[in-house]
Chains A and B, each alone.
Chain A
Amino acid sequence: MLILECPYCGVKAEESELAAGGEAHLKRFGAGSTDEDFEGYLFARKNPKGVHFERWRHAYGCGKWFLAARCTATLEVFGTYPAQTAEPPADLVAKIKQKRPEWEGYK
């Protein structure tokens, strides 16, 4: 069972209260971009065994989107943070680095 703490309302929400939204921090490529960039934006997703940044929505609670960093292999949750950010907060990245020294880092 996956438990993520919603950064907006502080509820430690069990997975069934949430809706998954796929990979976080996608860079949008729209009109005027190259075909490769647009294709990558639409279809190419990371699928790591290990640290992954994801979008989640507190669907049955406050309804807000937030982001979470977790390990896809162990389900360990490193942290959650509000969605109004273009990249993971530095303290969270440092925390993950400490726990997973072999992790290649964000991006």
Chain B
Amino acid sequence: MDPNVLSNLSVELKRGTQVLAVLSQLKTNQYGYSLLQALEEKGVFIEPGTLYPLMRRLEAQGMLKSEWDTSESRPRKYYCLSDEGVKIYEMLIEEWQRIVSDMDRLIKEENHGKND
């Protein structure tokens, strides 16, 4: 089998979870690189070239709010969940749990059938 097929499918599968992963870490203020590290510490790797634009996009959609911190030598843009973002995040979690349990059921049925 072409190894690319598996890696492509895996990338696609993960892509949909990226928003949820990002939102989950933004209850507190984070700037781009600190969010990247926070995710990495928990074993979730999102390419920086994907993550930084994604944060901007979520801000444009009103789920994140941001502020520039200019107190240090280099200005940094900090992001965190907006009120709207909190609501959407909670709904997305519900959606996610439904997906997980649906998929679990499908996969377990499949395995069960095999073992018989």
- Same assembly: no
Chain B residues with a Cβ under 8 A of chain A? none
